[in-house]
Chain A
Amino acid sequence: MREVHVSKITEIIKKLCMDANYYLGDDIKNKFYEFKEKETSKLGKEILDILINNSEIAEKEQMPMCQDTGMAVVFMEIGQDVHIVGGNIEDAINEGVRQGYIEGYLRKSVVKDPLDRVNTKDNTPAIVHYNIVPGDKIKITVAPKGFGSENMSRLKMLKPADGVEGVKRFVLETVKEAGPNPCPPIVVGIGIGGTFEKAAFLAKKALLRSIDEENKNPYYAKLEKEILDEINKLGIGPQGFGGLTTCLGVNIEVYATHIAGLPVAVNINCHATRHKEAII
Protein backbone atom coordinates (compact mmCIF):
# COMPACT_ATOMS: atom_id res chain seq x y z
CA MET A 1 0.00 0.00 0.00
CA ARG A 2 1.32 3.46 -0.92
CA GLU A 3 2.20 5.53 2.12
CA VAL A 4 1.85 9.31 2.31
CA HIS A 5 3.24 11.22 5.28
CA VAL A 6 0.95 13.88 6.78
CA SER A 7 3.75 16.48 6.52
CA LYS A 8 3.34 16.33 2.73
CA ILE A 9 -0.34 17.21 3.12
CA THR A 10 0.49 20.16 5.39
CA GLU A 11 3.10 21.47 2.97
CA ILE A 12 0.75 21.31 -0.02
CA ILE A 13 -2.21 22.89 1.77
CA LYS A 14 -0.02 25.77 2.94
CA LYS A 15 1.03 26.53 -0.64
CA LEU A 16 -2.49 26.14 -2.06
CA CYS A 17 -3.92 28.61 0.51
CA MET A 18 -1.43 31.24 -0.63
CA ASP A 19 -1.66 30.54 -4.37
CA ALA A 20 -5.46 30.57 -4.35
CA ASN A 21 -5.44 34.02 -2.77
CA TYR A 22 -2.72 35.55 -4.98
CA TYR A 23 -3.50 34.19 -8.43
CA LEU A 24 -6.75 34.75 -10.29
CA GLY A 25 -7.77 31.77 -12.46
CA ASP A 26 -7.15 32.01 -16.21
CA ASP A 27 -10.79 31.10 -16.87
CA ILE A 28 -11.91 34.23 -14.98
CA LYS A 29 -9.30 36.47 -16.62
CA ASN A 30 -10.37 35.30 -20.07
CA LYS A 31 -14.03 36.01 -19.24
CA PHE A 32 -13.13 39.52 -18.10
CA TYR A 33 -11.68 40.27 -21.54
CA GLU A 34 -14.62 38.62 -23.28
CA PHE A 35 -17.22 40.61 -21.29
CA LYS A 36 -15.27 43.85 -21.62
CA GLU A 37 -15.89 43.71 -25.37
CA LYS A 38 -19.63 43.21 -24.85
CA GLU A 39 -20.21 45.53 -21.86
CA THR A 40 -22.04 48.72 -22.88
CA SER A 41 -21.88 50.51 -19.51
CA LYS A 42 -18.88 52.86 -19.43
CA LEU A 43 -18.50 52.54 -15.67
CA GLY A 44 -18.98 48.78 -16.02
CA LYS A 45 -16.07 48.57 -18.47
CA GLU A 46 -13.92 50.68 -16.15
CA ILE A 47 -14.67 48.35 -13.24
CA LEU A 48 -13.68 45.30 -15.29
CA ASP A 49 -10.38 47.06 -16.09
CA ILE A 50 -9.86 47.82 -12.39
CA LEU A 51 -10.42 44.17 -11.48
CA ILE A 52 -7.97 43.00 -14.18
CA ASN A 53 -5.43 45.52 -12.92
CA ASN A 54 -6.04 44.37 -9.33
CA SER A 55 -5.32 40.75 -10.25
CA GLU A 56 -2.07 41.77 -11.93
CA ILE A 57 -0.90 43.69 -8.85
CA ALA A 58 -1.87 40.79 -6.57
CA GLU A 59 0.10 38.35 -8.70
CA LYS A 60 3.16 40.56 -9.05
CA GLU A 61 3.35 41.57 -5.40
CA GLN A 62 2.18 38.24 -3.97
CA MET A 63 -0.64 39.85 -2.07
CA PRO A 64 -4.26 38.74 -1.76
CA MET A 65 -6.62 39.88 -4.53
CA CYS A 66 -9.26 40.48 -1.87
CA GLN A 67 -8.90 41.31 1.82
CA ASP A 68 -11.47 38.62 2.62
CA THR A 69 -9.12 35.69 2.18
CA GLY A 70 -11.97 33.46 3.24
CA MET A 71 -12.62 30.44 5.35
CA ALA A 72 -10.48 27.61 3.96
CA VAL A 73 -12.67 24.96 2.36
CA VAL A 74 -10.61 21.84 1.66
CA PHE A 75 -11.70 18.98 -0.57
CA MET A 76 -9.75 15.75 -0.02
CA GLU A 77 -10.14 13.01 -2.62
CA ILE A 78 -8.29 10.11 -1.09
CA GLY A 79 -7.45 7.01 -3.08
CA GLN A 80 -8.54 3.88 -1.24
CA ASP A 81 -5.09 2.37 -1.75
CA VAL A 82 -3.30 5.16 0.16
CA HIS A 83 -2.16 4.78 3.74
CA ILE A 84 -1.71 8.11 5.52
CA VAL A 85 1.04 7.95 8.13
CA GLY A 86 2.75 10.18 10.68
CA GLY A 87 -0.27 11.69 12.41
CA ASN A 88 -3.89 12.77 12.27
CA ILE A 89 -4.98 13.91 8.79
CA GLU A 90 -7.30 16.65 10.04
CA ASP A 91 -4.53 18.12 12.23
CA ALA A 92 -2.22 18.08 9.20
CA ILE A 93 -4.79 19.95 7.10
CA ASN A 94 -5.34 22.58 9.78
CA GLU A 95 -1.59 22.98 10.25
CA GLY A 96 -1.30 23.69 6.50
CA VAL A 97 -4.04 26.33 6.75
CA ARG A 98 -2.40 27.86 9.84
CA GLN A 99 1.02 28.12 8.15
CA GLY A 100 -0.44 29.34 4.85
CA TYR A 101 -2.51 32.09 6.46
CA ILE A 102 0.25 33.26 8.80
CA GLU A 103 3.24 33.07 6.44
CA GLY A 104 1.21 34.26 3.45
CA TYR A 105 -0.06 37.44 5.19
CA LEU A 106 -3.65 36.31 4.71
CA ARG A 107 -6.47 37.58 6.92
CA LYS A 108 -7.58 35.49 9.86
CA SER A 109 -11.34 35.52 9.51
CA VAL A 110 -12.49 32.58 11.62
CA VAL A 111 -14.23 32.79 15.01
CA LYS A 112 -14.21 29.72 17.26
CA ASP A 113 -17.88 29.84 18.19
CA PRO A 114 -20.65 31.33 16.00
CA LEU A 115 -22.27 33.15 18.93
CA ASP A 116 -19.34 33.81 21.25
CA ARG A 117 -17.27 35.07 18.26
CA VAL A 118 -13.66 35.00 19.45
CA ASN A 119 -11.16 34.95 16.57
CA THR A 120 -8.94 31.84 16.44
CA LYS A 121 -6.14 34.07 15.04
CA ASP A 122 -4.85 31.46 12.57
CA ASN A 123 -7.89 30.95 10.32
CA THR A 124 -8.44 27.40 11.55
CA PRO A 125 -10.38 25.21 11.62
CA ALA A 126 -10.85 24.58 7.92
CA ILE A 127 -14.04 23.13 6.48
CA VAL A 128 -12.94 19.69 5.24
CA HIS A 129 -14.82 17.44 2.82
CA TYR A 130 -13.47 13.90 2.40
CA ASN A 131 -14.21 11.60 -0.47
CA ILE A 132 -12.80 8.09 -0.86
CA VAL A 133 -12.06 7.22 -4.49
CA PRO A 134 -10.32 4.37 -6.33
CA GLY A 135 -6.55 4.57 -6.79
CA ASP A 136 -3.46 5.42 -4.75
CA LYS A 137 -3.34 9.20 -5.11
CA ILE A 138 -4.63 12.07 -3.00
CA LYS A 139 -6.18 15.06 -4.75
CA ILE A 140 -6.31 18.18 -2.61
CA THR A 141 -8.34 21.25 -3.55
CA VAL A 142 -8.28 24.39 -1.43
CA ALA A 143 -11.11 26.86 -2.08
CA PRO A 144 -10.97 29.85 0.31
CA LYS A 145 -14.52 31.19 0.55
CA GLY A 146 -15.28 34.83 1.22
CA PHE A 147 -18.45 35.63 3.09
CA GLY A 148 -19.61 38.69 1.17
CA SER A 149 -20.83 36.22 -1.42
CA GLU A 150 -21.39 33.27 0.94
CA ASN A 151 -23.95 35.36 2.87
CA MET A 152 -25.95 35.88 -0.34
CA SER A 153 -26.27 32.13 -1.01
CA ARG A 154 -29.60 30.34 -0.57
CA LEU A 155 -31.13 26.87 -0.36
CA LYS A 156 -34.74 25.95 -1.00
CA MET A 157 -36.64 22.67 -0.97
CA LEU A 158 -38.77 23.00 -4.11
CA LYS A 159 -41.70 20.76 -5.00
CA PRO A 160 -41.20 18.27 -7.84
CA ALA A 161 -44.01 20.14 -9.65
CA ASP A 162 -41.85 23.30 -9.66
CA GLY A 163 -39.57 21.62 -12.23
CA VAL A 164 -36.86 23.37 -14.19
CA GLU A 165 -38.83 26.63 -14.29
CA GLY A 166 -38.95 26.64 -10.49
CA VAL A 167 -35.19 26.10 -10.36
CA LYS A 168 -34.54 28.99 -12.73
CA ARG A 169 -36.93 31.26 -10.83
CA PHE A 170 -35.22 30.52 -7.51
CA VAL A 171 -31.73 31.14 -8.92
CA LEU A 172 -32.77 34.45 -10.50
CA GLU A 173 -34.54 35.58 -7.31
CA THR A 174 -31.41 34.79 -5.30
CA VAL A 175 -29.09 36.71 -7.63
CA LYS A 176 -31.49 39.65 -7.86
CA GLU A 177 -31.88 39.85 -4.10
CA ALA A 178 -28.06 39.71 -3.69
CA GLY A 179 -27.73 42.68 -6.08
CA PRO A 180 -24.51 44.62 -5.43
CA ASN A 181 -23.65 42.83 -2.16
CA PRO A 182 -21.49 39.92 -3.44
CA CYS A 183 -19.28 42.23 -5.59
CA PRO A 184 -20.58 41.37 -9.06
CA PRO A 185 -19.49 40.12 -11.54
CA ILE A 186 -20.18 36.85 -9.76
CA VAL A 187 -19.87 33.13 -10.46
CA VAL A 188 -22.87 30.97 -9.52
CA GLY A 189 -22.68 27.36 -8.36
CA ILE A 190 -25.97 25.47 -8.37
CA GLY A 191 -26.66 22.13 -6.69
CA ILE A 192 -29.84 20.33 -7.72
CA GLY A 193 -31.12 17.15 -6.08
CA GLY A 194 -29.89 14.91 -3.28
CA THR A 195 -30.96 15.87 0.23
CA PHE A 196 -30.84 19.21 2.09
CA GLU A 197 -27.09 19.02 2.80
CA LYS A 198 -26.18 17.27 -0.45
CA ALA A 199 -27.64 20.12 -2.53
CA ALA A 200 -25.52 22.65 -0.63
CA PHE A 201 -22.43 20.49 -1.09
CA LEU A 202 -23.11 20.14 -4.82
CA ALA A 203 -23.47 23.92 -5.19
CA LYS A 204 -20.10 24.41 -3.48
CA LYS A 205 -18.52 21.68 -5.58
CA ALA A 206 -19.88 23.29 -8.75
CA LEU A 207 -17.70 26.33 -7.98
CA LEU A 208 -14.56 24.19 -8.25
CA ARG A 209 -15.11 23.56 -11.96
CA SER A 210 -13.54 26.00 -14.42
CA ILE A 211 -16.19 28.30 -15.90
CA ASP A 212 -14.86 27.38 -19.35
CA GLU A 213 -15.91 23.81 -18.80
CA GLU A 214 -19.59 22.93 -19.14
CA ASN A 215 -21.59 20.18 -17.44
CA LYS A 216 -20.94 16.82 -19.14
CA ASN A 217 -24.68 16.21 -19.52
CA PRO A 218 -25.85 18.26 -22.56
CA TYR A 219 -29.19 19.02 -20.85
CA TYR A 220 -27.46 20.68 -17.90
CA ALA A 221 -24.83 22.31 -20.12
CA LYS A 222 -27.70 24.02 -21.95
CA LEU A 223 -29.37 24.96 -18.64
CA GLU A 224 -26.10 26.51 -17.39
CA LYS A 225 -25.99 28.72 -20.47
CA GLU A 226 -29.68 29.65 -20.25
CA ILE A 227 -29.40 30.67 -16.59
CA LEU A 228 -26.23 32.67 -17.32
CA ASP A 229 -28.01 34.60 -20.07
CA GLU A 230 -31.07 35.20 -17.86
CA ILE A 231 -28.91 36.51 -15.01
CA ASN A 232 -27.12 38.87 -17.37
CA LYS A 233 -30.48 40.29 -18.45
CA LEU A 234 -31.12 41.49 -14.87
CA GLY A 235 -28.96 44.57 -15.52
CA ILE A 236 -27.22 44.52 -12.11
CA GLY A 237 -23.81 44.92 -13.79
CA PRO A 238 -20.29 45.27 -12.37
CA GLN A 239 -20.53 46.20 -8.66
CA GLY A 240 -24.29 46.70 -9.07
CA PHE A 241 -24.01 50.01 -10.95
CA GLY A 242 -25.87 48.69 -14.01
CA GLY A 243 -24.56 46.76 -16.99
CA LEU A 244 -24.41 43.46 -18.79
CA THR A 245 -21.68 41.79 -16.75
CA THR A 246 -23.47 40.51 -13.67
CA CYS A 247 -22.32 36.91 -13.92
CA LEU A 248 -19.24 35.36 -15.55
CA GLY A 249 -20.29 31.73 -15.34
CA VAL A 250 -22.90 29.29 -14.03
CA ASN A 251 -21.96 25.73 -13.06
CA ILE A 252 -24.53 23.10 -12.14
CA GLU A 253 -24.00 19.80 -10.33
CA VAL A 254 -26.84 17.31 -9.87
CA TYR A 255 -27.55 14.14 -7.91
CA ALA A 256 -30.39 11.65 -7.56
CA THR A 257 -33.14 12.76 -5.19
CA HIS A 258 -36.29 11.54 -3.41
CA ILE A 259 -39.69 11.14 -5.13
CA ALA A 260 -41.08 13.92 -2.91
CA GLY A 261 -38.35 16.51 -3.35
CA LEU A 262 -36.42 18.95 -5.52
CA PRO A 263 -33.71 20.56 -3.37
CA VAL A 264 -31.91 23.50 -4.98
CA ALA A 265 -28.91 25.33 -3.55
CA VAL A 266 -27.37 28.47 -4.99
CA ASN A 267 -23.84 29.22 -3.86
CA ILE A 268 -22.70 32.65 -4.99
CA ASN A 269 -19.03 33.48 -5.44
CA CYS A 270 -17.40 36.77 -6.29
CA HIS A 271 -15.15 37.05 -9.36
CA ALA A 272 -12.17 35.76 -7.39
CA THR A 273 -13.72 32.24 -7.26
CA ARG A 274 -10.56 30.91 -5.66
CA HIS A 275 -9.64 27.27 -5.98
CA LYS A 276 -6.27 25.62 -6.46
CA GLU A 277 -5.53 21.92 -6.53
CA ALA A 278 -2.64 19.50 -6.31
CA ILE A 279 -2.19 15.73 -6.51
CA ILE A 280 0.06 13.70 -4.23
Chain B
Amino acid sequence: MQKKITTPLTNECIENLKAGDSVLLTGYIYTARDAAHKRLVELIEKGEDLPFDVEGQIIYYVGPTPAKEGMPIGSAGPTTSYRMDPYTPALLDKGLKGMIGKGKRSLEVVESMKKNRAVYFAAIGGAAALTAKCVKESELVAYEDLGAEAIRRLYVEDLPLIVVIDAEGNNYYEIGQQEYKKSIE
Protein backbone atom coordinates (compact mmCIF):
# COMPACT_ATOMS: atom_id res chain seq x y z
CA MET B 1 0.00 0.00 0.00
CA GLN B 2 1.26 3.48 -0.81
CA LYS B 3 1.41 6.01 2.04
CA LYS B 4 0.47 9.58 1.15
CA ILE B 5 2.77 12.21 2.61
CA THR B 6 3.03 15.99 2.34
CA THR B 7 5.69 18.64 2.84
CA PRO B 8 6.96 20.10 5.08
CA LEU B 9 7.72 16.77 6.73
CA THR B 10 6.62 16.54 10.35
CA ASN B 11 8.53 14.52 12.93
CA GLU B 12 5.55 12.21 13.26
CA CYS B 13 5.53 11.52 9.53
CA ILE B 14 9.27 10.85 9.51
CA GLU B 15 9.11 8.39 12.42
CA ASN B 16 6.38 6.45 10.59
CA LEU B 17 8.39 6.03 7.37
CA LYS B 18 10.26 2.74 7.10
CA ALA B 19 12.82 1.58 4.55
CA GLY B 20 10.95 -0.12 1.69
CA ASP B 21 7.75 1.93 2.02
CA SER B 22 6.20 3.17 -1.22
CA VAL B 23 4.97 6.73 -0.80
CA LEU B 24 3.18 9.37 -2.85
CA LEU B 25 4.49 12.84 -2.07
CA THR B 26 2.48 16.04 -2.48
CA GLY B 27 3.70 19.55 -1.74
CA TYR B 28 6.59 21.93 -2.38
CA ILE B 29 10.10 20.56 -2.76
CA TYR B 30 13.39 22.20 -3.79
CA THR B 31 15.77 21.11 -6.54
CA ALA B 32 19.52 21.20 -6.04
CA ARG B 33 22.43 19.18 -7.39
CA ASP B 34 26.22 19.39 -7.48
CA ALA B 35 26.90 23.08 -8.18
CA ALA B 36 24.00 24.39 -6.04
CA HIS B 37 25.06 22.22 -3.10
CA LYS B 38 28.56 23.63 -3.27
CA ARG B 39 27.18 27.17 -3.07
CA LEU B 40 24.73 26.36 -0.25
CA VAL B 41 27.43 24.84 1.91
CA GLU B 42 29.78 27.77 1.21
CA LEU B 43 27.03 30.08 2.58
CA ILE B 44 26.61 27.89 5.69
CA GLU B 45 30.38 27.95 6.27
CA LYS B 46 30.37 31.76 6.03
CA GLY B 47 27.40 31.92 8.42
CA GLU B 48 25.18 33.55 5.79
CA ASP B 49 21.47 32.94 5.06
CA LEU B 50 20.46 30.31 2.51
CA PRO B 51 18.27 31.31 -0.48
CA PHE B 52 15.44 29.25 1.08
CA ASP B 53 14.70 27.96 4.56
CA VAL B 54 15.59 24.26 4.57
CA GLU B 55 13.86 23.55 7.90
CA GLY B 56 11.48 20.59 7.43
CA GLN B 57 11.99 20.63 3.66
CA ILE B 58 12.94 18.08 1.01
CA ILE B 59 15.64 18.57 -1.61
CA TYR B 60 15.25 16.71 -4.90
CA TYR B 61 18.56 15.93 -6.66
CA VAL B 62 17.52 16.76 -10.21
CA GLY B 63 18.62 18.80 -13.19
CA PRO B 64 15.54 18.81 -15.43
CA THR B 65 15.47 19.27 -19.19
CA PRO B 66 14.06 22.62 -20.41
CA ALA B 67 10.27 22.95 -20.26
CA LYS B 68 8.36 23.15 -23.54
CA GLU B 69 5.88 26.03 -23.91
CA GLY B 70 2.96 25.65 -21.52
CA MET B 71 4.65 22.97 -19.43
CA PRO B 72 6.03 23.59 -15.90
CA ILE B 73 9.12 21.41 -16.45
CA GLY B 74 10.83 19.01 -18.84
CA SER B 75 11.95 15.46 -18.01
CA ALA B 76 12.87 15.33 -14.35
CA GLY B 77 14.23 12.07 -12.97
CA PRO B 78 16.70 11.80 -10.07
CA THR B 79 20.47 12.14 -10.38
CA THR B 80 22.92 9.92 -8.44
CA SER B 81 23.02 11.04 -4.82
CA TYR B 82 26.54 10.14 -3.66
CA ARG B 83 27.97 13.25 -5.32
CA MET B 84 26.01 15.35 -2.83
CA ASP B 85 27.31 13.36 0.17
CA PRO B 86 30.16 15.76 1.06
CA TYR B 87 27.62 18.60 1.41
CA THR B 88 24.64 16.78 2.93
CA PRO B 89 25.44 16.66 6.70
CA ALA B 90 25.74 20.48 6.81
CA LEU B 91 22.25 20.80 5.32
CA LEU B 92 20.79 18.16 7.65
CA ASP B 93 22.25 20.11 10.59
CA LYS B 94 20.30 23.12 9.27
CA GLY B 95 17.03 21.18 9.51
CA LEU B 96 16.69 19.52 6.10
CA LYS B 97 14.39 16.53 6.61
CA GLY B 98 14.31 14.70 3.30
CA MET B 99 16.28 14.02 0.15
CA ILE B 100 15.16 12.48 -3.13
CA GLY B 101 17.72 10.91 -5.44
CA LYS B 102 18.95 7.48 -6.42
CA GLY B 103 21.83 5.25 -5.39
CA LYS B 104 24.04 4.77 -2.37
CA ARG B 105 24.87 7.25 0.44
CA SER B 106 27.99 7.52 2.57
CA LEU B 107 28.21 6.39 6.18
CA GLU B 108 28.61 10.03 7.24
CA VAL B 109 25.30 10.92 5.58
CA VAL B 110 23.48 7.98 7.20
CA GLU B 111 24.87 8.89 10.65
CA SER B 112 23.82 12.50 10.17
CA MET B 113 20.33 11.37 9.05
CA LYS B 114 19.95 9.31 12.22
CA LYS B 115 21.14 12.18 14.40
CA ASN B 116 18.92 14.74 12.66
CA ARG B 117 15.97 12.36 12.00
CA ALA B 118 15.81 12.63 8.21
CA VAL B 119 14.72 10.34 5.37
CA TYR B 120 16.27 9.48 2.01
CA PHE B 121 13.85 8.62 -0.79
CA ALA B 122 14.52 7.18 -4.25
CA ALA B 123 12.63 8.26 -7.33
CA ILE B 124 12.76 5.86 -10.29
CA GLY B 125 15.98 6.62 -12.17
CA GLY B 126 15.36 6.79 -15.88
CA ALA B 127 11.60 7.37 -15.60
CA ALA B 128 12.05 11.08 -16.18
CA ALA B 129 9.22 11.71 -18.65
CA LEU B 130 6.78 10.01 -16.30
CA THR B 131 8.07 11.90 -13.25
CA ALA B 132 7.56 15.21 -15.06
CA LYS B 133 3.81 14.51 -15.05
CA CYS B 134 3.76 14.86 -11.24
CA VAL B 135 5.30 18.34 -11.32
CA LYS B 136 2.56 20.95 -11.43
CA GLU B 137 4.53 24.17 -10.82
CA SER B 138 8.15 25.23 -11.06
CA GLU B 139 9.61 28.50 -9.86
CA LEU B 140 13.21 29.71 -9.92
CA VAL B 141 14.58 30.30 -6.40
CA ALA B 142 18.29 30.96 -6.94
CA TYR B 143 21.38 30.57 -9.13
CA GLU B 144 19.80 31.09 -12.55
CA ASP B 145 23.33 31.17 -14.00
CA LEU B 146 23.63 27.44 -13.28
CA GLY B 147 21.01 26.58 -15.91
CA ALA B 148 19.72 23.06 -15.28
CA GLU B 149 21.52 23.15 -11.92
CA ALA B 150 19.65 26.21 -10.60
CA ILE B 151 17.57 25.87 -7.42
CA ARG B 152 13.85 25.63 -8.23
CA ARG B 153 10.80 25.24 -6.04
CA LEU B 154 8.52 22.55 -7.47
CA TYR B 155 4.95 21.72 -6.53
CA VAL B 156 4.52 17.97 -6.95
CA GLU B 157 1.39 15.90 -6.75
CA ASP B 158 1.52 12.21 -5.85
CA LEU B 159 5.18 11.86 -6.79
CA PRO B 160 5.92 8.11 -6.42
CA LEU B 161 8.93 7.44 -4.20
CA ILE B 162 10.46 4.60 -2.24
CA VAL B 163 11.94 5.09 1.23
CA VAL B 164 15.51 3.83 0.83
CA ILE B 165 17.05 4.95 4.14
CA ASP B 166 14.80 5.75 7.09
CA ALA B 167 15.63 7.83 10.17
CA GLU B 168 16.84 4.68 11.94
CA GLY B 169 19.42 4.11 9.21
CA ASN B 170 17.74 1.01 7.73
CA ASN B 171 18.72 0.68 4.07
CA TYR B 172 16.32 -0.81 1.54
CA TYR B 173 19.01 -1.44 -1.08
CA GLU B 174 20.52 -3.91 1.39
CA ILE B 175 17.22 -5.28 2.71
CA GLY B 176 15.61 -5.66 -0.74
CA GLN B 177 18.60 -7.47 -2.22
CA GLN B 178 18.86 -9.79 0.79
CA GLU B 179 15.14 -10.59 0.61
CA TYR B 180 15.42 -11.34 -3.11
CA LYS B 181 18.39 -13.65 -2.57
CA LYS B 182 16.54 -15.49 0.19
CA SER B 183 13.49 -15.86 -2.04
CA ILE B 184 15.42 -17.72 -4.74
CA GLU B 185 17.39 -20.02 -2.44
Residues of A within 8 A of B (CB): 40-41, 43-44, 47, 50-51, 53-55, 57-58, 61, 63-69, 105-109, 117, 119, 121, 148, 151, 179-183, 235-237, 239-244, 270-272
Q: Which residues of B contact A148 (CB under 8 A)?
A: 79-80, 102-103, 125
Q: Do B176 and A108 touch across chains, with their CB atoms under 8 A apart?
A: no
Q: Are B128 and A54 in contact (CB under 8 A)?
A: yes
Beyond A51-B126, A66-B75, A241-B172, whether A107 also contacts B64 by CB under 8 A is yes
CA distance A69 to B74 in the complex (A): 11
Give the docked Cα–Cα distance between A151 and B104 (Å): 13
Q: State whether A180 touches B77 (Cβ < 8 A).
A: no
B124 at the interface (CB under 8 A from A): yes
The residue among A117, A148, A151, A182 with the most chain B CB atoms within 10 A of its own CB is A148
Interchain CB contact under 8 A, B102 and A239: yes
- The 9 A-B residue pairs with the shortest CB-CB distance, nearest first, are A242-B180, A183-B125, A242-B176, A181-B103, A241-B176, A58-B129, A54-B127, A242-B177, A54-B130
Say yes or no: is B52 at the interface (Cβ < 8 Å to chain A).
no
Given A64-B74, A105-B74, A148-B80, residue A57 in contact with residue B130 (CB < 8 A): yes
Say whether B62 faces chain A, with CB atoms less than 8 Å apart: yes
Interface membership of B16, Cβ < 8 A: no
The reply to whether A241 and B126 form a contact with Cβ atoms under 8 Å apart is: no
CB pair B75–A237 under 8 Å, yes or no, is: no
Contact A107 B129, CB 8 Å, known A239-B102, A242-B176, A242-B180:
no
Assess whether B51 is interfacial by the CB under 8 Å rule: no
- Contact yes or no, A240 B103, CB < 8 A: yes
Q: Which residue of A lies closest to B126 (CB)?
A: A183
Task: Report B122-140 CB contacts with A as 1/0, cut-off 8 Å.
Answer: 1011111110110000000
Task: List 20 contacting pairs A-B, 8 Å CB cutoff, sorted by A.
Answer: A44-B180, A47-B124, A51-B126, A51-B127, A54-B126, A54-B127, A57-B133, A65-B75, A67-B64, A67-B128, A105-B68, A106-B65, A106-B66, A109-B63, A119-B149, A180-B104, A239-B124, A241-B173, A270-B125, A272-B126
Determine whether the beta carbon of B62 is less than 8 Å from that of A67.
yes
Query: Are the C-beta atoms of A66 and B77 separated by less than 8 Å?
Result: yes
Nearest CB of B to A70, in Å = 11
- Residues of B within 8 Å of A182, CB to CB, are 80
Task: From B35, B126, B173, B184, give the contact of A271 (CB < 8 A).
Answer: B126
Cβ proximity bits B104-144 to A, threshold 8 Å, 1 near / 0 not: 10000000000000000010111111101100000000000
Residues on A with beta carbons closer than 8 Å to the beta carbon of B77: 66-68
Given contacts A54-B124, A240-B103, 5 further A-B contacts (CB under 8 A): A43-B176, A180-B102, A239-B162, A242-B177, A244-B180
State whether B176 touches A237 (Cβ < 8 A).
Answer: yes
Measured in the bound complex, the distance between the Cα atoms of B126 and A54 in whole Å is 8
Determine the distance from Cα of A65 to Cα of B77 in the docked complex, in whole angstroms.
Answer: 9
Known: A51-B127, A119-B146, A181-B80. A67 touches B179 (CB 8 A): no
B74 contacts which chain A residues (CB < 8 A)? Answer: 63-64, 67, 105, 107
Q: Are B129 and A61 in contact (CB under 8 A)?
A: yes
Task: Identify the closest chain B residue to A69 (Cβ).
Answer: B65
- CB contact between A180 and one of B65, B103, B178, B179 (< 8 Å): that residue: B103
A276 smallest CB distance to B (angstroms): 17
> Cα distance A128–B180 when bound, in Å?
42
Nearest B residue to A55, CB-CB: B129
Interfacial residues of chain B within 70-117, with CB under 8 A of chain A in the complex: 74-77, 79-80, 82, 102-104
| CB neighbours of B177 from chain A (8 A) | 235-237, 240-242
CB < 8 Å neighbour of B65 from A63, A179, A237, A240: A63
In the complex, chain B residues whose CB is within 8 Å of the CB of A65: 75, 126, 128-129
